[in-house]
Amino acid sequence: MQRKWFQYWFNSPYYHILYSQRNDAEAEFLIDNLTAYLKPALHSRILDIACGRGRHSVYLNKKGFDVTGIDLSEQSIKYAKQFEQKHLHFFVHDMRKLGYINYYDIALNLFTSFGYFDTEKDHVNALKSFRKSIKEDGTVVIDYFNTQKIISNLTHRETKTIEGIDFELRKFVAEGKIIKHINFEHKSKHHAFEERVQAFTLADFERMFEKSGLAIVNTFGSYNLEAFDVAKSDRLILVCKKA
């Protein structure tokens, strides 16, 4: 089976260099606001889906929760495992495949870690596994970008120089996806990667949730948990329960 773009790119050391400016303060700010809103009991079980190198998981664990982080990237999980302890564990796992059933109080999918697959069926399968992983009264939170705002403010070409590497970025919309081409030279070698994220709107999520047995109980448009505004909000944060 051919490897998908996300299997190459998220496993590459260059992915972490390009996005090294992502700060922990922002991640912690979101977690603080979400936990204040959801009010999970101490030692609640939380699943961090597509956890990357584990920055949200580590902070959730520091706040007193029992956290499991899963990600498809072997390299990210290898890195995250250094933080493991009694109530913090990391596994290489595909979000489309079920792990524990009716086990978690909260399942989180943060920082646009969704929309990577080619078919709606794959996305619905992932959402079904999110749903099955939580307890009957559990909560699923998906933090996506606000597609409409992203598209209307798309920077089509830019160069970012990080750690001496000039990343040439080209962004465009095609096939219902927001696509980013990433090209650069390093150590006399040319590298080319891409990101392909579905341009899902709120209506798309509502349709997929209906198919997967989830119901939206609240939407937010920022890490401040302000109301979602399709024209102005940077994020689309969806809080869901089992339908």
According to DSSP, residue 44 is labeled: -
Q: Rounded to a whole number, what is the largest CA-CA distance in the chain?
A: 54
* 170-175: average pLDDT: 97
Q: Which residue has the tokens 């409409």?
A: 148
The Cβ-side half-sphere exposure at 207, using a 13 Å CA radius, reads 8
> Strands, E, within 5-87: which ranges?
45-49, 66-71
pLDDT at residue number 203:
98
- Asked whether the CA dihedral 167, 171, 24, 99 is positive or negative, the reply is negative
Does residue 20 surpass a pLDDT of 90? no
Which of 1-15, 23-37, 52-66, 173-187 has the lowest average pLDDT? 1-15
Q: Which two tokens stand for residue 141?
A: 């939170």
* 188-197: average pLDDT: 97
Q: Is 152 helix (H, G, I), strand (E, B) or coil?
A: helix
Q: How are the residues of the chain apportioned to helix, strand and coil, as percentages rounded to the nearest 5?
A: 30, 35, 35
pTM for this model (two decimals)? 0.96
How many Å apart are CA 227 and CA 224, to the nearest integer?
Answer: 9
pLDDT at residue number 49:
98
How many Å apart are CA 46 and CA 23, to the nearest integer?
Answer: 22
Does residue 221 surpass a pLDDT of 80? yes
How many Å apart are CA 208 and CA 13, to the nearest integer?
Answer: 33
pLDDT at residue number 21:
81
**Residue range 200-215, pLDDT digits in tens:** 999 999 999 999 999 9
What is the residue-averaged pLDDT of the chain?
Answer: 96
Q: What is the CA radius of gyration of the chain?
A: 18
**Residue range 109-124, pLDDT digits in tens:** 999 999 999 999 999 9
How many Å apart are CA 142 and CA 38, to the nearest integer?
Answer: 14
**Residue range 138-160, pLDDT digits in tens:** 999 999 999 999 999 999 999 99
pLDDT at residue number 87:
98
**Superfamily of structural domain 5-146+199-242:** Vaccinia Virus protein VP39 (3.40.50.150)
**Residue range 71-127, pLDDT digits in tens:** 999 999 999 999 999 999 999 999 999 889 999 999 999 999 999 999 999 999 999
**Confidence band of 1 (pLDDT split at 50, 70, 90):** low
Q: Which two tokens stand for residue 63?
A: 């706040």
Does residue 191 surpass a pLDDT of 90? yes
| Domain ranges across the chain | 5-146+199-242, 150-196
**Confidence band of 18 (pLDDT split at 50, 70, 90):** very high
* 178-191: average pLDDT: 97
* Element housing 160 (H / E): strand 157-162
Q: Is 119 helix (H, G, I), strand (E, B) or coil?
A: coil
pLDDT at residue number 22:
79
Does residue 2 surpass a pLDDT of 80? no
How many Å apart are CA 237 and CA 243, to the nearest integer?
Answer: 18
Q: Are β-strands 214-220 and 45-49 bridged in parallel, bridged antiparallel, or unpaired? A: unpaired
